[in-house]
Amino acid sequence: MATLSIKAKVGATTILCLTAGAVGLLALSDASYRKNVRMVTQESLANARATYANLSDASVAKMSVAAEMAMADPALRETFAAQDRQKLIDVTAPIFERLRKQYGVTIFNYIDANENRFLTMTDTKDVRLIGTKAVRFNVQECARVKTWVTGLALGQLGFALRVTHPFYDSGQLQGEKILGYIELGSEIGGFLGALKKQTGREYGLLLRKQLLKEKDWGIQRERLKLPNNWNVQKDLVLAGNTWTDESIFAYEGDVTNLPDEGQVLDVGNRGGQIFARSAFPIKDASSAKVGAVFVLVDITSIYTDLQHTKMLTIGTTVALIVVVCVVLLVLLSSLVFRRLKEITRVATRLVGGDYQTPVAVSKADEIGHFEELFEQLRLVFVNLLEEYERVSRENDAKSKPGN
């Protein structure tokens, strides 16, 4: 039978218990880390979503006021009514420049009553932007309802938050005759910078390729002097971001499956920085999910704290194992092992012929009781042996001749 000393068993049990405790602590700190990351990420997601909505509302309000003021401008209205494109460019240019600088308005379009593009201030020379049909939900909806239509829409010049309104000959919000439509827009990519400024997080905007045209995308990227990233991802394309490494926004999932309130996605490492990713969908003017805003939360400090806690737990456990083992073994040695060794020594000497060495009762505890019992047993043994020797001597004497 394999033998294992009590010392080894106690040592092994101590190590096992403390290791189990340490593993439990590590699991707890890991769970706490995940909870913290989830909380921070969810909070950031909710914050980003609310900020995005606020920015969107504020932007719509600003563009609505600007459009209203533009329509009320007699010079601008008369020029549009006269269909004088060059004069309209001259009249609109200073207004557009001021709106662009002060309010981030990047789109200022005139669309005629037949929903064809009349003037696109962003690029007045592009023939594709003159006389062609403006096939967009917001334009068609505006023509149908004859009032404001706002929302995200994709045009030749990119994905933008647009405000579209019928341009009445009265210059008022309502009128008899529609001259056409006025459309002001702010490119959604610009929102990301504002979001970052307000929340301190990093953002990326991914759009569904299905709703875009590869050729138009290439033209738009060229106009913005950006490399064409159409083929980087399978179903999505990155329209804008605030982070240096675009690959962090790679996403294989289907953004249409993202819940409206957004979703925490995963945690990734980029160049030593740990980011938690989450995303919320964005909808166009027709309420279709057209893409998603990705939120990056730098959780490096939380992760570093976890690693520190882990190292501390492991270090403390190792120190505890050493201290507890030493204390236990010293205690056991003093209370049990040393006294058992003494009993063994006396027992060995007893059967070796030393009948005089007694077992001293050292303490009044369990081992002390055993020492007492063993001493009684020793005395019985000695008496028995003496009795045996006496009988043996008597028998020897009787067996001798003459007795």
Partner 1 sequence: MTDLLNTGESMAALYDLKVKIDKTIEERKLDGVATRGKIALQTGFLLSLVSASTPDDPVKLDKLKKAAAAVLQLKV
Which positions touch partner 1 (CB under 8 A)? 345, 347-354, 385, 388
Q: How far is the CB of 308 from partner 1 (least distance, A)?
A: 56
Q: Judge contact between 175 and 147, C-beta under 8 A.
A: no
Q: Which is nearer to partner 1, 126 or 375 (CB)?
A: 375
Q: How far is the CB of 390 from partner 1 (least distance, A)?
A: 14
Place of tokens 């009787």: 398
CA distance 392 to 126: 133
Q: Taking the CA of residue 1 as centre, how many other CA atoms within 13 Å lie in the half-sphere pointing to its CB?
A: 3
Q: How far is the CB of 391 from partner 1 (least distance, A)?
A: 12
Q: Which is nearer to partner 1, 231 or 399 (CB)?
A: 399
CA distance 49 to 392: 105
H, E, C per residue of 346-393: HHHHHHHCCCCCCCCCCCCCHHHHHHHHHHHHHHHHHHHHHHHHHHHH
Q: How far is the CB of 13 from partner 1 (least distance, A)?
A: 29
Q: Which is nearer to partner 1, 114 or 348 (CB)?
A: 348
Q: How far is the CB of 18 from partner 1 (least distance, A)?
A: 37
Contacts of 23-29 with CB under 8 Å at 24 or more apart are: 25/313, 25/317, 26/310, 26/313, 26/314, 29/306, 29/309, 29/310, 29/313
Q: How far is the CB of 380 from partner 1 (least distance, A)?
A: 15
Q: How far is the CB of 357 from partner 1 (least distance, A)?
A: 9
CA distance 54 to 294: 17
Rounded to whole angstroms, what are the CA distances from 168 to 86, 134, 139? 21, 19, 15
Q: Which is nearer to partner 1, 46 or 347 (CB)?
A: 347
Q: Which is nearer to partner 1, 340 or 385 (CB)?
A: 385
Q: How far is the CB of 4 from partner 1 (least distance, A)?
A: 21
In this structure, what token pair is assigned to residue 10? Answer: 């106690």
How many CB atoms lie under 10 A from the CB of residue 8?
Answer: 10
Q: Which is nearer to partner 1, 75 or 377 (CB)?
A: 377
Q: Which is nearer to partner 1, 102 or 348 (CB)?
A: 348
CA distance 52 to 262: 12
Question: What is the SS3 assignment for 225?
Answer: coil
Q: Which is nearer to partner 1, 145 or 351 (CB)?
A: 351
Q: How far is the CB of 352 from partner 1 (least distance, A)?
A: 3
Torsion 117-118-124-130 (CA) sign: positive
CA distance 219 to 241: 19
Q: Which is nearer to partner 1, 272 or 401 (CB)?
A: 401
